[in-house]
Amino acid sequence: MVSTTFTNLSDEKQTKIRKALLKEFTDQPLATAQVAPIVKTAGIARGAFISILMI
């Protein structure tokens, strides 16, 4: 479940984040996945990413 902040983002930004998440979790096992590649690929700040996913 994601926060309301995520659902309030534009469809384009949501898609970028979803694709970045999919890429990281496809490339890395859950235990070694990292936030840095996700935010870099999505083009968002680390703090924004954390805020978006907080429930």
Output the pLDDT for position 2.
Answer: 74
Tell me the pTM. Answer: 0.87
Q: What is the DSSP letter of 9?
A: S
The Cα–Cα gap between 3 and 37 comes to 21
Output the pLDDT for position 55.
Answer: 63
Chain Cα centroid distance, residue 47: 11
Share of the chain above pLDDT 90, in %: 76
